[in-house]
Amino acid sequence: MPRSRAEEPGKVGNAGQDRPEGPLYVPVRPGPAGYTLRLCRTPLGSRTAVAFTSERWLRSVMGPEQAWIRLSEPAVRALAAPLGAVTVTVDPLLTARRARDPEAVAALC
């Protein structure tokens, strides 16, 4: 079941590493068979899985009510690939202003 609050502090990998260190905070949404990864789109329109190195960062980008789970980067890739997302964006920086309407945010992802 997704967690709604942090149980441990976030772990941030060292600069220059290809893969983040430790499990990531991965946004999920309810689906017909439980929870599923929440996929987003890149500026060019391709699907991407998103993950965060801290709960604080996830909440600042996705909103305070966003459900999440902890997964390793290879696990996120393995779950995202069958859904058509071949990339994982870690700690994305959104340039668009966050919508106040949750339905508008859901339409983007």
| pLDDT number for residue 45 | 86
| pLDDT number for residue 56 | 95
- Rounded mean pLDDT for each run of 10 residues along the chain, 109 residues in total: 36 44 92 91 89 95 94 95 93 64 61
| pLDDT number for residue 99 | 53
| pLDDT number for residue 1 | 45
| pLDDT number for residue 25 | 97
**Which amino acid is it at 91?**
D
| pLDDT number for residue 109 | 62
> Which domains are present in the chain?
24-108 (3.40.1350)
